[in-house]
Amino acid sequence: MTQTELARRTGLEQSHISRTFNHRVTLTVPSMLALCDGLGVSPMAVMSEALQDC
């Protein structure tokens, strides 16, 4: 999926998605929820995976 398609699915700006993926902005909870929804993944699954990496 392209960032443009993800932007369309989430309502986020493509430039914001790019900056997020390049670690130029801090991911906020609302943005994370929008990205999870756009990607079709559970926010709990993302957080669980992140906590395992700590």
Given this model, what pLDDT does residue 23 score?
93
Q: Using one digit for the tens of pLDDT, what is the confidence trace for 19-37?
A: 999 999 999 999 999 999 9
Q: How far apart are CA 33 and CA 7, in angstroms?
A: 13
Among residues 1, 3, 11, which one has the least CA distance to residue 37? 11
Residues 6+ apart with CB under 8 A from 34: 10, 11, 12
The pLDDT of residue 34 is: 96
Using CA atoms of 25, 31, 32, 36 in order, give the dihedral in degrees to the nearest 10.
-130
Q: Which pLDDT value is given to residue 1?
A: 93
Residue with tokens 């989430």: 10
> What is the share, in percent, of the chain residues with pLDDT greater than 70?
100
Is residue 46 scored above 80 in pLDDT?
yes
Q: Is the pLDDT of residue 53 over 80?
A: no
Q: Where are the domains of the chain?
A: 3-52
